[in-house]
Amino acid sequence: MIEMDAIFFLLPIAVALGAVFAILFVIAVKRGQFEDLDDPPERILKD
Amino acid sequence: MSPRTSRKSGNVPVEAEAPPRISRCPHCGTPVEGSEDVFCCSGCEMAAAIIRSAGLDSYYLQREAFPPRPEGGGGDWDAVPLAVREDGMAEIRLQVDGLRCASCVWVTENVLQRTEGVEEVTLSYATGRARVRWDPERLKLSEVAGRISTLGYRPRILGEEGAPDTDLLVRLGVSAFAAANIMMLSAALYTGWLGGMHPRYVALFQWISLALAAPVAIWCAEPFFVAAVSGLRHRVLHMDLPIALGVSVLFVHAAVVTVRGSGDTYLDSMGMLVTLLLAGRVLESRGRRRAAEAATALAATAPATGRRRVGTAVEVVTAEELVPGDLMDVASGEELAADGIVTAGRGSVRMALLTGEAEPVEVGPESRVVAGSVLMEGFLTVRVTAVGRETVLQQMAHQLRLSADRGVKPVFTDRIAPWFTGATLTVAVATFAGWYLAVGMEKALLTSVAVLVVACPCALALSRPLAAAAGLGASARRGLLFRSGDALLEMGAVDVVALDKTGTVTAGDLEVVASDPQALRIASGLERFSSHPIGRAITRAAVDGGIPLPEAEEVREEAGFGISGKVDGREWEIRSGGPGKVVLRGKSGEVWTILLGDRVRADSRSAVEGIMAGGGREVVLITGDVEGIAARMATEAGILEYQAAFTPAMKADWIKARQDEGRTVLFAGDGVNDGPGLARANVGVAMGTGAASSILVADGVISVPSLRPLLAGFSAANAAKRSIRQNQLRSIVYNLGAVTVAAAGLVNPLVAAILMPLSSGMVILGASRVERAVAVETRHAGIPAPGSGRR
């Protein structure tokens, strides 16, 4: 019975892990990492 | 121009009777007479020296285009107020013009970075915007600006930028995360239908789905609720209404099902719907913001300065520091920093931005002169009467902004939205009523929810933002920047194109109109180093005419009088010969006259022909100039109809009259005097080289000195409209089918989850064809493909 219900705590953990990445994305947006998507790729070629 | 032109190339031998060899200036590539390593001007020599001393020689091997010839910076940069931070560093934002390739950006950035006192520089490859942080104690701002302008690029001050809209992006991220997880759980639930699933797990999956969906329905979808409610308040059935309705019905339905523990939910469809719609909005707002920013950057200016007389001395001050009563010296080639009355001196003044007339006006003592006009020749002392906001130019610009704010233009309205919304609601209600009477409450609720799900106009609502974003991008890459998608779409309906003359159809700048090639060669040798507008026009004409610049010696330039020196070992002098004329005299008696004036742009005729092609649009030249000149310029530009001697108000009235006839008018102009017309027209397009205030009231800005981007604009507008229409048609056909099936009670959550992305995918494919359609059409019209020219 107990091993059958592994999903009851594995699923919330999986969703929580996903949420961590969603939060990281939000932080990245707030720090302005998505404001300029054109320059960094060109910069790599020049440096 | 061949790529990788190093300093050793371009050694083209000339015909036998011309002994001087022709080479190219190692820096800017201008052909000059003489052996290798001869720079065309001291500016290029200095630029090359700076690049070499910074150890950036590889620039000459890597560049794909020649830089512009350095012309020296205008304005007094040290008078710009600096924001010094706590650590003693100052920071400023600049717009750098003339950057033609990635190497230009690289060399500029690195030269600045290696300047002592500069802490950090970032220069954007895409927009040409720089952010410089430096130590003002060790380096003056004028030195920073000087480094840039010595390289041949032109820096201008930019104001602080507004915080970009990250809100939509965060919503999109959250909603995408939630939707993906819900979909995963739903997939498990769907498989559960086949094999049978213990209710315990079904409940677990549904509860987690509901928890994930809550922020999507409540927070991520908020913009749709806001728009739907405000639409209702204005008694409009907005496209966002069925979306808001769908989202709330789906979420409430799922909550009820989950709590009761029986039935299926549509939360995966809801998550996908919100995510796709938000993605469309993000794309549209990105395209719009980029175009609007580029247009605002064109309106940025270099700081204006004046030379104030204090007793017998002269000091340089900013325009703001001047006060009425001051005496201000103005030399030939300079721009006036304030309004005033001439107290001494004579000269000719050009007021093109203000009056629209390119021809200089003669002024002398007691003449009134205004800020923003340029002294073409002579020397003036002016008593300042008005400064800053009180000047005629600023007053007009202010009036313009007021009138632009008041008149809200009709925008491209979606006629389908209210019809569609109404139909959806009717069908949903009818379905509910029908099933309620036939079977009962339970079945009626389920079917009407299914109807709302499949009828949710995801594809319909996506078609416009996606097509508009694609159209904005396609048009911007070809030189026409639009502030909004509405303006672009409106352009597709235009059937009258009114063009201003000066600065729009014509170059609006002094150009050599007529000259003997030999005279032009000698004159360009003398004027090679001059920064005066006339000198620049002569050098430009020689370079454009393929005349290599000869070497000159003992050149002396006297402000207000002229220039003299030796070319080919003989003495020559250039003097003014009255308005629009200079006279070149040789010691041995040769006299040549070079005529200067405004000229129709070389590519205006082809642009006009392109606009009229297909017969749908009529082109009219509108000018404040006299009949004769208007007729001549119209003929030269291939324009059949013209209106002469129009005041700014008459231009706006004429546009209004055409609109009253039911026509849709596009007006392109460049001066402050074109402002009322730009604000009045259905689509106002300003020239990026024109007055800042005209750029601010216009719907679109042409960022290159040409009318050809208008063709790209028409093509982008038509492609975007076509894409919208096709997508609307497709999604309506899809919806009709899907709603019929749903109303019959045959749709379950799995069917909905498969149907929805199908219709949205169709729309995304349709919008992606806009760029390709514009590329094909403009290639036929000979407009250079994007990427070959950089702002």
User: Distance (Å, rounded) from C-alpha B734 to C-alpha B763?
Assistant: 12
User: Distance (Å, rounded) from C-alpha B227 to C-alpha B209?
Assistant: 26
Structural domain boundaries enclosing A15:
1-31
As a whole number of angstroms, the longest Cα–Cα distance in chain B is 111
pLDDT of residue B296: 67
pLDDT < 50: residue spans in chain B: 1-18, 406-413, 785-791
User: Could you name the CATH architecture of B1-161?
Assistant: 2-Layer Sandwich (3.30)
User: Distance (Å, rounded) from C-alpha B148 to C-alpha B127?
Assistant: 16
Q: Taking the alpha carbons of B471, B477, B479, B484 in that order, is the dihedral positive or negative?
A: positive
Length of chain B: 791
Domain count, chain A: 1
Angle at B451 between CA B448 and CA B456, to 5 degrees: 130
Q: Confirm if B357 and B349 have CB atoms less than 8 A apart.
A: no
In a domain, A43, yes or no: no
Q: Which residue of A has its CA nearest to B106?
A: A46
pLDDT of residue B280: 83
Order of strands across the sheet that contains B665-669: B480-482, B700-702, B683-687, B665-669, B496-500, B618-622, B641-643
Of B124, B181, B204, the CB nearest to A8: B204
User: Distance (Å, rounded) from C-alpha B375 to C-alpha B363?
Assistant: 10
CB contact under 8 A, B173 and A25: yes
Contact list in B for residue A42 (CB cut-off 8 A) is 102, 125-126
CB contact under 8 A, A12 and B180: no
pLDDT of residue B759: 77
pLDDT of residue B2: 41
How close does chain B come to A26, measured CA to CA in Å? 6
In a domain, A45, yes or no: no
Q: Chain B within 8 Å of A42 (Cβ-Cβ)?
A: yes
CB contact under 8 A, A18 and B170: no
Average pLDDT of chain A, as a whole number: 79
Q: DSSP letter for B219, please.
A: I
Terminal CA-to-CA distance of chain A, rounded, Å?
A: 60
Q: Which residues contact B736 (CB under 8 A, 6 or more apart)?
A: none
pLDDT of residue B221: 92
**3-state class of B122 per DSSP?**
strand
Residue type, position B111, single letter = V
**CATH 3.30.70.100 domain range(s) in chain B:** 1-161
pLDDT of residue B217: 94
In a domain, A23, yes or no: yes
Q: Confirm if B65 and B102 have CB atoms less than 8 A apart.
A: no
User: Distance (Å, rounded) from C-alpha B482 to C-alpha B165?
Assistant: 18
User: Could you name the CATH architecture of B511-597?
Assistant: 3-Layer(aba) Sandwich (3.40)
User: Distance (Å, rounded) from C-alpha B246 to C-alpha B625?
Assistant: 59
Give Cα separations from B324 to B75, B76, B320, B365, B387 (angstroms).
20, 20, 11, 17, 7
pLDDT of residue B3: 42
Model-level ipTM above the cut of 0.90 = no
In a domain, A26, yes or no: yes
Contact list in B for residue A22 (CB cut-off 8 A) is 173-174, 177-178
Of B102, B204, B208, the CB nearest to A42: B102
pLDDT of residue B655: 92
What tokens were used for B587?
């010691």
Cβ count within 10 A of residue B628: 9
Cβ count within 10 A of residue B785: 11
Using only C-alpha atoms, chain B has a radius of gyration, in whole angstroms, of 32
Contact list in B for residue A30 (CB cut-off 8 A) is 166, 170
Q: How many beta-carbon pairs below 8 A join chains A and B?
A: 53
**3-state class of B224 per DSSP?**
helix
How close does chain B come to A25, measured CA to CA in Å? 7
Q: Strands B581-586 and B570-576: what pairing?
A: antiparallel
In a domain, A46, yes or no: no
Residue of B125, B219, B477 best to disrupt the A interface, most CBs of A under 10 A: B125
pLDDT of residue B243: 83
Q: Which residue of B has its CA nearest to A26?
A: B170
CB contact under 8 A, B173 and A39: no
Q: Which of B500-537 are b and which e, b meaning 16 or more Cβ less than 10 Å from the residue's Cβ? A: bbbbbbbbbbbbbeebeeebbbbbbbbbbbbbbbbbbb
pLDDT of residue B255: 93
CB contact under 8 A, A45 and B102: yes
pLDDT of residue B215: 94
| Reported CATH class of domain B472-507+601-716 | alpha beta
CB contact under 8 A, A29 and B173: yes
Q: Is B166 exposed, middle or buried (0-12, 13-18, 19+ CB in 10 A)?
A: middle
In a domain, A42, yes or no: no
Angle at B41 between CA B39 and CA B42, to 5 degrees: 100
User: Distance (Å, rounded) from C-alpha B228 to C-alpha B211?
Assistant: 25
The CATH number given to B323-386 is 2.70.150.10
Residue type, position B343, single letter = T
HSE of B601 in the Cβ direction (CA atoms, 13 Å)?
22
Cβ count within 10 A of residue B62: 16
In DSSP terms, B306 is beta-bridged to B317
**CATH 3.40.50.1000 domain range(s) in chain B:** 472-507+601-716
